[in-house]
């Protein structure tokens, strides 16, 4: 992580929730994730292009198209994640980061450490998933 403040800093429950230090920490975490995903997309697209130019056999071409579809599906997933990361960065800017968009409750530091782009508390996420099922 390229956190430019205290390199060993990790948010803890004993400090005020979503204080300036925590917000800087999570902003950098989100930016780092975005950069890694952009790199994955570039690598995946490069791999598709490179392999496409080498494959000429019909069977190899069929395998290539299957691989290509899988890689493009992964890129679509990466792009959706980037959209979520961008939305989380916007929430930092507008002061709503770290709070559930459904209930207004704190999402919690542990959940944000694992899913820094989370916009719902764990309870709200479970309710939303039940409604989608």
Task: Convert the pLDDT of each residue in 22-62 to its tens digit.
Answer: 999 999 999 999 999 999 999 988 887 776 666 566 666 67
pTM of the model: 0.82
Round to whole Å and give the CA distance between 61 and 55: 6
Which tokens hold the place of 91? 């929430």
Residue at token pair 């999570």: 26
Beta-carbon count within 10 A of 100 CB:
20
pLDDT in tens, 65-103: 788 888 889 989 999 999 999 999 999 999 999 999 999
Q: Which fold has domain 20-132?
A: 1.20.120
- In degrees and rounded to multiples of 5, residue 112 shows phi and psi of -70, -30
φ/ψ (deg, to 5) at 106: -65, 135
């Amino acid at each position: 992580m390229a956190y430019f403040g205290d390199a060993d800093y990790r948010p803890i429950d004993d400090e005020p929730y979503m204080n300036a230090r925590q917000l800087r920490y999570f902003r950098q975490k989100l930016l780092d994730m975005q950069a890694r995903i952009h790199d994955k997309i570039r690598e995946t697209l490069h791999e598709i292009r490179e392999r496409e130019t080498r494959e000429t056999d019909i069977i190899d071409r069929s395998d290539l198209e299957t691989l290509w579809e899988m890689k493009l599906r992964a890129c679509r997933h990466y792009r959706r994640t980037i959209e979520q990361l961008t939305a989380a960065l916007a929430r930092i800017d507008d002061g709503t980061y770290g709070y559930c968009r459904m209930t207004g409750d704190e999402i919690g530091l542990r959940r944000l450490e694992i899913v820094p782009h989370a916009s719902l508390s764990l309870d709200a996420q479970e309710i939303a998933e039940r409604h989608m099922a």
